[in-house]
Amino acid sequence: MLEKQFYTNLFKGSFNNLPIQVKFWDGTTRNYGQGLPVIKITFKKVIPVHEVLKSASLALGEAYMRGDILVTSDKYQRPLEVLLTAAYESVNSFMRNKKFIHLTKFQSHTEKADKEDIQAHYDLGNEFYKLWLDPTMTYSCAYFAQPDDTLEQAQINKVHHILQKLHPQPGKTLLDIGCGWGTLMLTATREYGLKTVGITLSQEQYNYVNDIIHREHLEDQAQVLLCDYRELKHAPFDYITSVGMFEHVGKEELGKYFKDVANYLVDDGVALIHGITRQQGGATNAWLTKYIFPGGYVPGLVENIKHIEAAGLQVFDLESLRRHYQKTVEIWDDNFNAKREQIERMANDSLEQTMSGYKFARMWDLYLQACAASFGSGNIDVIQYLLTKGASGKNLPMTRDYMLH
């Protein structure tokens, strides 16, 4: 009885008047919000109150993974996204109540720890990511220049959007910190005439990019390194790009990250840093840290600007792509669920997970829908920082027009 009362109080006012129905473990139901319920939450068993009080995101996230909590709807394709968006938007939500928001423990960001963290996420296998990413194998926010752009087109748009902001000149050099599967650095090589170096800590990504470089005979123009960005020994670069990288370096290493960006740039060089940023200030999430991004930390906008200033860099342009990332993640989740049975089999057979394929698939579906909700509600953002080493935009055109052509 006390547990049911706890959950009744927990959900009351949490969903911004979104009409939902909660079915408890004893078969009783309760409606919240106004109108006929459009989403149903089913508790298969009791989730101990002390676990929720210790960390709501971790306790409820793990219960969802196990199938102890189900979220269904006849109206919405992604009901969890709708539910979490409403929770983020409600000022009375348990997701915004200090009683339920807990910081995670100190996270180590030694080079060894960072390598292990990156490989835990990105070395699940290229075949896994191929199932639900687009053919460019780009695992970051796309840029939908037109409403009907496919995900592949939008990812190509993003790469050009980034490179055009640099105003690159053929023959000059570019460093891509956290190069992923190489789409950006290889596009810069093939289409912009730049000499590029990409670095990654993922063995799978390194192998993938290296194979392309050798297959296309780009050895004189492009190089991929399996190393930590802090170990780089190359001469300064004219341009630097870093997409979806600083979220991995941790709060304690963020200042050094921007100083390294500055150190790797020539004087008056240009950097485009693209990353998930929280306009309300930096934050971690216990469930996300444990299951998806070990060591992850989303920095705040003001926090980043302070580090940029301290590194001797200046801001020339900022652009929010929050809505673009929401749409990107929604498409990923649709793609993921279209291949869900195959992913479950893959997880059972070859991904060497410590959990069943069923649990693994629910974990990733939760991650993708929760990300879409977080972007959709403005809980997190993704921002492109166009930076110069020296006076802002010294060698860049006077207006933004050049970025779009």
The CA distance from 272 to 165, in Å, is: 8
The CA distance from 46 to 44, in Å, is: 7
Dihedral sign of CA atoms 59, 23, 334, 282 in order: negative
**Helical residues (DSSP H) of 149-300, grouped into ranges:** 151-166, 183-192, 203-215, 254-263, 286-291
227 labelled catalytic:
no
Question: Residue 285 in 3-state DSSP?
Answer: coil
Q: For 215, list phi and psi in degrees, rounded to 5.
A: -65, -35
Would you tell me the crossing angle of helices 340-349 and 357-377 to the nearest 10 degrees? 130
Identify the helix (H) or strand (E) that includes residue 227: none
- In SS3 terms, 10-33 reads as HHCCCCCCCCEEEECCCCCEEEEC
Name the maximum alpha-carbon separation found in the chain.
Answer: 71
Q: Is 360:352 a contact under the CB 8 Å cutoff? A: no
CB atoms within 10 A of CB 312: 13
- Residues forming beta bridges with residue 72, ordered by sequence position: 40
What does each C-alpha distance from 353 to 123, 327, 361 come to in angstroms?
A: 12, 29, 11
Tell me which residue of 251, 250, 289 sits closest to 58, measured CA to CA. Answer: 289
Question: Residue 327 in 3-state DSSP?
Answer: helix
The CA distance from 361 to 393, in Å, is: 45
Tokens of 326: 């929401």
Q: Is 10:30 a contact under the CB 8 Å cutoff? A: no
Tokens of 138: 């780009």
Tokens of 34: 């106004």
Tokens of 385: 């920082």
- Residues annotated as catalytic are 371
